[in-house]
Structures are given as structure tokens and as C-alpha cells.
Amino acid sequence: MSQVVAKAPAVTLESTHPERKPTGKNDIFIARQPIFDCNSTVYAYELLFRSGGDNMARVKDGSVASSQVLLNAFVDMCIHEIAENRQVFVNFTREFLVEEIPLPLSPKSLVVEVLEDVVVDETVVNGLQKLSRKGYQLALDDYIFTDNKEPLFDVIDIVKIDILGCDVSKLETEIKALKARNIKLLAEKVETHEEFELCKRLGFDYFQGFYFCKPMILTGQSIKPNRLSVLKILAKLQDPNCDISELESLISKDVGISYKILRIINSAFYNFRREIKSVREAIVALGLKTIRDWMCIIVLTDIDDKPQELLSQSLRRARMMQTLSAKCGYNGETGFITGLFSSIDAIMDQSMESILRQLPLADNIVNALVSGDGEYGSLLQTITRYEQGDWENLTVRNLSNQDLIKGYIESITWTAQLFARLED
């Protein structure tokens, strides 16, 4: 995959040392989690922050020091690139809510989250009223029906409800009361497609959780015809015996894929001195491995009945696996394929095991995807934990905090640029 990312910054290998947790007390971990609308289209992102160091202190612990860490994160990081110009939900400490510290983003970009443990007093209410008058949307985080948050309902725009363990009948009553106040509702921890459909029926407006990257497997259901053709192409692409003529034939059978391959190779991304006019020329110019990777990307992103965030997640993981594999002294190409196929079960709506039986992948990739074993499995778990904000359990080899943070942010911008090229 090295040729595909020819313009990416060069990565260097580091010396091997025992497994450890990444350190760096001045580093700030940042991750985003998608918030969806009823069509599973990304409406906004919640940004999660955590300071580095041994104590891994949460940025939302309410202290002035944590407020400063949060402020520094906005100053030092390209938040708009991370959020891809969508609104961001951010948990802010009391100091921000009462305007002791100014908010770092404009009302168009920011939804201010009021944490469940913020003491609701006159100072907080007045502060939120001022923020509302300035145009900020306000969200109440982790609302529990027994909470005494009534004074906030006249100023709050969105209420976030953790649906885990909620009684449905009680939920319906509370939803009606909140809807009567013209408050939007956001369901948190939506982990299955069944929960997503239930929350839609109950009247929730927005949804947050990892339901979108879970496969919808129905007993006795075979692979859909469009998925089956995708799987056949992916299998051929991963066949080590696939030669130039076979690959050319495979690409040329699909006008859309041929067009995209030629558009990509003739773009400023590669900047060849002359125009590449045929598929065979493209294969010769880029090499079999690079063309295979582009084909995998194009075939997967052409699936139009899955949330784009799912496909975007696969590409981000592929890129992050590639760059961090190189940092660890592993094979970047193997890392890329491992990351790219990490959500293939959700894309195909089949179990990972059944899909991998049909793909001629190397054992180390299969073991990584099925059971998380081996060096690639360990790295994939680290990346998944990073995505979910599970930063206490990041245990890796040869990687610093900055390696992870930069790898994550760079994977977001790389994927956004990739989608832009594919949509040209």
C-alpha cells in the first residue's frame, strides 16, 4: 500500500522494547463518536478528550486544570478537520458553563453538553441562559428521570438518555413530557439495530452508539446478490495468483470501477507527467498491490445501503493500521487489509467467520479479525479501543501517545480526502 499513500508523511521504525502503556503527561487524547439521525446519517460528532500521563485524568472532572487541558486541545488540534465541518457535542466543565472561561468554538460549530454531575444552581442556570442567547445549542447529558434538572428544561435544546436498562413504558411517558417542551431527544448506548428501531418508534430524534457497525444477520438468510458479487471481487483481489491480465479483466468488466481507477491515477494525488488512458497502463504504473487496494476501497465504498460512517470507519482503521504497523515494524500492507476488513461483517451482514472462509486471506489477518490474536490483532484492538475512548486499556509496542493521536487524526483527514476523490 506504500504507493497509494506516496504523499503521506514518511514513517520511521522504532526500536523494540517491552509492551507498555503509552505515556506523555502533556498529551491529549481525542476521539469522536458519531451521532446519527433517523436515517443513520451522521448529524454531528461527540468529541471525547482525555489528558495523558499515568493517572489518565478525565478532562471532564470539573477542575480548573481540566478546563485548561480542554481549552488547549481546541487551540492545538484541528477540531474542524476532526469533525469534518459538522457540529460537535462537547462535555464542558462548570467553569465554561458560567463563562469563567470562554467557549473555544462558535455557536454554529458547537453543542454544549451539561454533565449529569453539574450542580444546578442559579449561577449555572444564568450562565446557560446567556449561552443560549448567544446562539449555542445546549444538551443535557445522561439524563436520569429522577434527576432534579427541571430548572434547565426551559433552556435545554437536547436531552441525552442512556437507554440501557430503561423501562420502555416509563420511557414513553417521559418522552411525551419532554417532547411537549419542544426538546429534541438523543438515545445513548444504542448497541443493536433492534434498539435503534425501538428508539425511532419511541420518538427519539438522534442516536449514539455502535449499532451501525454490527451485522444484521437473519437466520437462514443467504448473502444478498450485490454483496455476493462484492465478495467474489474481494476474493479474487486477495488471491496471490491473480496476475495483471486477470486483474485488468476484473476491472474492465465494471465501467464505474474503471472510470474511478483512471480518475484517481490521473489526479494530482499521483501527478504523473502524462495521462494514463487504460486500465493496463494503470496497473503497470501503480503495481498490482496498489491497484488491488484501490479496488477493495472502491468496491466497498460503492455499497450504497449502509451508513457512510461504517465505510468511513473501515477506511480510517485501514489507514491507522497501516501507519502504526510500520511504526511497530510490522508489514503496513497487512495492517491495511486487516483494518479495511475489520467491519466486513457489518457491511456484508454475515458473521466474520463465514465471510473469511470465502476470502483467501493470510492466517495472521484471519486470526486478527476473528479472535484478535497476533500482533495485528493486538494493534487492531488498540485502535478500536482508541476509537471508543477506552484509553485506559491502550497497551501497545513501540508506540507513544503522539503516535496514536497523530495516527488517529491523520486517518480522519486521509479518509475525508479519499472520499472526496472517489466522489469527483
Residue 138, strand partner residues: 112
Identify which of 317, 270, 333, 342 has the alpha carbon closest to the alpha carbon of residue 414.
317
Residue 5 pLDDT greater than 60, yes or no? no
Which string of b and e fits 33-72 if b means at least 16 CB within 10 Å? bbbbeeebebbbbbbbbbbbeeeebbbbebeeebbebbbe
Q: Does any domain span residue 7?
A: no
Please write the tens of the pLDDT for every residue from 16-55. 333 445 555 567 888 899 999 999 999 999 988 887 654 4
pLDDT number for residue 52: 64
Residues 329 and 359 in one domain: yes
Strand-pair category, 42-51 with 28-36:
antiparallel
Whole-prediction pTM = 0.84
d(CA 132, CA 138): 7
Domain presence at residue 265: yes
Spell out where 53-136 has E strands. Answer: 87-92, 110-114
Contact 211, 40 (CB under 8 A): no
> Per residue in 180-191, pLDDT tens?
999 999 999 999
Residues 167, 300, single domain; the answer is no
Mean pLDDT of 124-153: 89
Same domain, 187 and 259: no
pLDDT tens profile 240-263: 888 888 888 888 888 888 888 898
Percent of the chain exceeding pLDDT 90 equals: 43
Residue ranges making up the domain that contains 78: 38-204
pLDDT tier for residue 79 given thresholds of 50, 70 and 90: confident
pLDDT at 73 over 70: no
323 shares a domain with 265: yes
State pLDDT tens for residues 169-181.
888 988 998 999 9
Name the DSSP letter for residue 392: G
Which pLDDT does position 222 carry in this prediction?
60
d(C-alpha 170, C-alpha 163), whole Å: 11
Residues above pLDDT 70, as percent of the chain = 85
The answer on 398 and 335 residing in a single domain is: yes
Greatest mean pLDDT among 103-107, 217-221, 414-418 lies in 414-418
CATH classification of the domain holding 304: 1.10.3210.10
Average pLDDT in the chain? 83
HEC string for 35-74: EECCCCCEEEEEEEEEECCCCCCECCCCCHHHHHHHHHHH
pLDDT recorded at residue 358? 86
pLDDT score recorded for residue 70 = 66
Residue found under cell 485524568:
57
The last residue of one of the domains, among 204, 233, 267, is 204
Where on the phi/psi map is residue 206: left (φ > 0), alpha (ψ -120 to 50), or beta? beta
| Number of domains into which the chain is organized | 2
CA angle 309, 314, 318 (to 5 degrees): 140
Residues 272 and 419 in one domain: yes
